[in-house]
Structure 1
Amino acid sequence: MSYEAGTQVSRWRNVVGSMLGWGLDAYDFVAYAFVAPVIAQVFFSQLGRLGSMLATLAAFSVSLAVRPLGGVFFGNLADKVGRRYVLYMTMLGAGLSSFLMGFLPTYAQAGLVAIALLIILRFAVGFFLGGEYSSSGVMAVESVTKWRGLASGIMQAGFDIGIFGVTFTYTLVATYLPENAMYTIGWRIVFWSGIVTTIIGWLFRRRFLTEAPEWEVAEKVRSPYRTLFTKYWLPVITILLATMGFLYEYYVMLELSPFVLQNVLNYSSALAGLILTVLSASDAIGSIFGGVLVDWFRSSARALLATALIIIALIYPTMYAILILSNGWLVLLWDFIAVLPVGVLQVYIRDLLPPSVRATGAGLSYNGGTWLAAWAAIITTLMAGASTRPEPWLTAITINMIWSSILIVISSMIAIALIKRARRE
């Protein structure tokens, strides 16, 4: 193998190593989303149907709301000492925190202590996964010189490895264990099984990760924080708008699709699990397709704009077919259009921020979007009144998907202007 070919293989290994971190991210969050009805019963049943559902979603939101803290902490570290060292720590920390979820006592066993421990572990998971995104995404697009959009889409498709793993596990548990076992050992198995993803990902990173070439040759700054906020505050806000819009509409889909299938359409746990297992394929295709749009348009900003317009155009007919026509399999289309922007975002961040502050900026701006996304499912649920009828959900989901996509449109327009101005200068 020639030196150049060997270098290219090494660089694409970085993409794969980054991708595996998103497998862990998906495994934990989707595991929580799938067993949310169980969490509501074993931790919050004393609050009633609506109260228990909202409390369960609020506990989930802790993991999202704390991610910017982890993103800024580990992002600053990654800009100073390199991306790969940070990626060792974040994968191990997030994986162990998620694994420990399976050992939690229930409210019946430990009362308020059980809820406190649940919140602590959700905090830990969010903190480490916030650090994961600060480095894994930029590592992928900084490592390749061609097809950055494809690299971004493939890296993000790692999320779907996690989705497939957890939906496969959940389907097996729901199919072969008695129904009531989901409330005793079943939900614990779903969290425990995620340790496999952690071990595989961490060993791969230790064996194959090399430092991102673009970061190695870049000029370093003493204080990435100060440089970011004094020179690049507008790009940070621009990225923040995009991530707020994307993560909001995506978490509406991710958190509520199991509820729509099981509680609104009355699908069995096994059938819902099957659909959500197949969903991992549509998610991967959508992510990669979004990344390919970057290479096709030769502009991350224009590609991101295109993805937002697709969502706005297709969301109402898609949700009408799912909810009113009772076609649960079209959740796959809902997922496909919802995930399109994520394949673009890594290159979008790279195009707007220099390497010396990129991880700090990515950690803050991308994870900062979770501050809004953390409330996506809660707001949508309140608008629908936690109804078991489809009509309130059609209105609530459509409105929330459209307005969040408008944030992506606004961000894209600002980015196009910023990039044009930078080229003139």
Structure 2
Amino acid sequence: MSSIVASAPAGATPANPRSRVVLASLIGTTIEFYDFYVYATAAVLVFPHLFFPAGNDTTALLASFAVFGAAMLARPLGAIFFGHLGDRRGRKITLVGALLTMGVATFLIGLLPTYPTAGWLAPAMLVVLRLAQGFALGGEWSGAALVATENAPKGKRAVYGTFPQLGAPIGFIIANGLFLVIAAALPSDDPSRPSLAFLAWGWRIPFLFSIIMVAIGLWVRLSLVESAAFENTVRKGQIRKLPLGSVLKSHWKQLILGTFYMLATYVLFYLMTTFSLSYGRASPAGAVPGLGYDYTTFVLMMIIGVVFFGIFTLVSGPWADRWGRRRTLIWITLGIFVFGLLWVPMLAAGNVGVMAWLIIGFALMGMTFGPMGALLPELFPANVRYTGSGISYNVSSILGAAVAPFIAVALWSAGGGSPFWVGIYLSAMAVLTLISLLIGNEGRRYQQLKSIVTEGEPLTAPIRLGYSGLRYPAP
């Protein structure tokens, strides 16, 4: 590797208080994931009815998921744009810009006309705003992860890296909890379809509510100061004119590995949060059979599962700090592989089996998602870290999240309503992630993130070489 990073001098005081670091990294991703989940829920409940021509329900759902996936295509562009700003101008201002972009796009979705009113202009505007959401999320995650990990105390980087990851389950609970409250206030006579009042105006409330959450997030993030890692990079004159060029030239292997590290995580994520909502609510006697739960019951079951998502996200941090990121993820990815093979017997076991499926799936999601907050930033030096980690994370969203709900619905339909091939799809993606983890090199060296040391400079502190306990000796 052309550059390595050494630890900060002993006794150095973090620029940001730890409570502020935790809150800023957590609240921003909570808001971003809230906005994303609000759309994901509406993509199942509302948009097939309101933003596409009436006709075949499966076709409308696939069209809605296609728009959902369009945001994933914009995420790498957002990672490049915001990564460029974050590596050249700093983490703080970039995170503020990403949060504003997401918040405004989500708010405007709540004001859109529907297909009966505006024709094809309605889904066209929905696609534009969905692309803006994806563009913003492309810059949000890596910045939040850097705020957490670059300000983490010694030996706690994976623990701190779980706080931005925790925004995913919290955002899910807030978004779906709000939809549940609105659905309860506007009940439907048909459990497979939202009420007329919900379709007329109730669905807009969660989108409009996002502007309040964005205001809170901006207040927290504007109180941050830049991390020591970025300030050291500026002081040493190591800011790159074009971070993307540096990443592609010197760190392309890390880009590829990071992308495949995230693949199984993304597929599992969107199967459990988006596909499951369609499969769980579909009638057993429908054109494409499902589990037949009413909306309220199934979402409450999902929320129980997401609680385990949050718990195991936090649990995974200490594991990754103790045993190493790769070693931890290798075992968890094996668990995901086995989980995919067990979909049919679990989902055929009645309420207990379905609840176990949700709990195990979301627990695995927390265990695989948590260590990524430290693992991906550690692949890159500070002067290209925002760009590199953001591209890996978000290119994986195209390979995994963008197509996962679409492929899952297609496999579900082709299989006559059986989830067998959807589970096999998840297991296959786990194999690709497992291969990347086995050939990766994180287990041989933890980068220390605080400052860049170019090759040939003396190291001021030993660098731990992974869970084996070997150390690179200081001169």
Percentage identity across paired residues of the two chains: 28
Counting only pairs closer than 5 Å after superposition, residues 52-63 of structure 1 correspond to structure 2 as 52-63=60-71
When residues 47 and 5 of structure 1 are mapped into structure 2, their CA distance, relative to the original with a 3 A threshold, is farther
Report the CA distance between 1:23 and its aligned residue.
0.9
158, 169, 178: which one aligns with 1:149: 158
Report the CA distance between 1:322 and its aligned residue.
3.1
167, 172, 178: which one aligns with 1:169: 178
Match of 2:296 in 1: 270
C-alpha separation in 2, matches of 1:304 and 1:374: 22
Report the CA distance between 1:7 and its aligned residue.
4.0
Match of 1:370 in 2: 397
When residues 418 and 72 of structure 1 are mapped into structure 2, their CA distance, relative to the original with a 3 A threshold, is farther
C-alpha separation in 1, matches of 2:279 and 2:446: 45
Q: What is the DSSP-based 3-state SS (H/G/I as helix, E as strand, rest coil) of the residue aligned with 2:54? A: helix
Q: Which runs of 5+ in 1 are unaligned?
A: none
The answer as to whether partners of 1:40 and 1:55 remain within 8 angstroms in 2 is yes
C-alpha separation in 1, matches of 2:446 and 2:133: 39
1:243 corresponds to 2:247? no
Q: What is the DSSP-based 3-state SS (H/G/I as helix, E as strand, rest coil) of the residue aligned with 2:292? A: coil
Letter of the 1:195 counterpart: I
When residues 150 and 314 of structure 1 are mapped into structure 2, their CA distance, relative to the original with a 3 A threshold, is same
Match of 1:70 in 2: 78
1:222 corresponds to 2:241? yes
Q: Which runs of 5+ in 2 are unaligned?
A: 1-10, 189-194, 283-289, 448-464, 466-470
C-alpha separation in 2, matches of 1:127 and 1:381: 25
Match of 1:287 in 2: 313
C-alpha separation in 1, matches of 2:23 and 2:342: 35
Pairwise CA RMSD: 2.3
When residues 294 and 418 of structure 1 are mapped into structure 2, their CA distance, relative to the original with a 3 A threshold, is closer
C-alpha separation in 2, matches of 1:165 and 1:310: 28
The answer as to whether partners of 2:327 and 2:443 remain within 8 angstroms in 1 is no
Decide which structure has greater helix share: 1
201, 204, 211: which one aligns with 2:217: 201
C-alpha separation in 2, matches of 1:51 and 1:311: 30
Letter of the 2:425 counterpart: N
Report the CA distance between 1:31 and its aligned residue.
1.4
The answer as to whether partners of 2:308 and 2:363 remain within 8 angstroms in 1 is yes
Letter of the 2:229 counterpart: E
**CA displacement 1:58-107 (0-9 Å, x = unmatched):** 01011111100001110011001110110111111101111111111110
1:342 corresponds to 2:388? no
330, 345, 355: which one aligns with 1:320: 345
Report the CA distance between 1:356 and its aligned residue.
0.8
C-alpha separation in 1, matches of 2:218 and 2:412: 41
The answer as to whether partners of 2:246 and 2:384 remain within 8 angstroms in 1 is yes
Letter of the 2:346 counterpart: A
Question: Which range moves more in the overlay, 161-170 or 327-336?
Answer: 327-336
Over alpha carbons, which structure has the higher Rg?
Answer: 2
Letter of the 1:369 counterpart: S
C-alpha separation in 2, matches of 1:157 and 1:363: 18
C-alpha separation in 1, matches of 2:262 and 2:36: 17
1:159 corresponds to 2:168? yes
The answer as to whether partners of 2:96 and 2:221 remain within 8 angstroms in 1 is yes
Report the CA distance between 1:109 and its aligned residue.
0.6
119, 131, 142: which one aligns with 2:139: 131
Q: What is the DSSP-based 3-state SS (H/G/I as helix, E as strand, rest coil) of the residue aligned with 1:121? A: helix
Counting only pairs closer than 5 Å after superposition, residues 75-90 of structure 1 correspond to structure 2 as 75-90=83-98
Report the CA distance between 1:32 and its aligned residue.
2.0
**CA displacement 1:37-74 (0-9 Å, x = unmatched):** 32101112435111101000001011111100001110
